[in-house]
């Protein structure tokens, strides 16, 4: 019973273009959402987050959009760079337990030079 889903296992984008990574969730109790980036043989690293009271959060080239009614969030990377090639995990936190993270299965992004 996966409550956070990333239905695209991989995505390939040309350098300089926009990368859009998607994430869907089922639990309406989720109150906070995060994106992590993972390189091979390393642990995930925090990238950007968004609270459920917002619908957009921007940090440099990275923007996360939240659509609560659709239970959907997305990460936009503009412009994409080859160094962005990694696996991106979406994660969610329920409002009644801010230590229990629910992760998706990841999307592998390949940015081609």
Partner 1 sequence: DTAVSQTPKYLVTQMGNDKSIKCEQNLGHDTMYWYKQDSKKFLKIMFSYNNKELIINETVPNRFSPKSPDKAHLNLHINSLELGDSAVYFCASSRLANYEQYFGPGTRLTVT
Q: What does the binding site for partner 1 look like in residue numbers (CB under 8 A)? A: 2, 32, 34, 36, 41-46, 49, 87, 89, 91, 93, 97-106
Query: In whole angstroms, how close is the CB of 11 to partner 1 at the nearest point?
Result: 15
Which one, 19 or 106, has the nearer CB to partner 1? 106
* Token code pair at residue 89: 């995990």
Which one, 6 or 63, has the nearer CB to partner 1? 6
Query: In whole angstroms, how close is the CB of 101 to partner 1 at the nearest point?
Result: 6
In angstroms, the CA 2 to CA 18 distance is: 28
Query: In whole angstroms, how close is the CB of 69 to partner 1 at the nearest point?
Result: 23
Which one, 13 or 34, has the nearer CB to partner 1? 34
Distances from the Cα of 98 to the Cαs of 28, 63, 92, in angstroms?
14, 23, 9
Edge-first strand listing for the sheet containing 72-77: 4-5, 19-25, 72-77, 62-67, 56-59
């Amino acid at each position: 019973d996966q409550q956070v889903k990333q239905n695209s296992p991989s995505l390939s984008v040309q350098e300089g273009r926009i990368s859009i990574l998607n994430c869907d969730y089922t639990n309406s109790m989720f109150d906070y959402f995060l994106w992590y980036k993972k390189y091979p043989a390393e642990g995930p690293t925090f990238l950007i987050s968004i609270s459920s009271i917002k619908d957009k959060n921007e940090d440099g080239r990275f923007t996360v959009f939240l659509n609560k009614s659709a239970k959907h969030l997305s990460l936009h990377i503009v412009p994409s760079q080859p160094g962005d090639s990694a696996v991106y995990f979406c994660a969610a936190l329920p409002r009644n337990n801010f230590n229990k993270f629910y992760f998706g299965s990841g999307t592998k992004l390949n940015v081609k030079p």
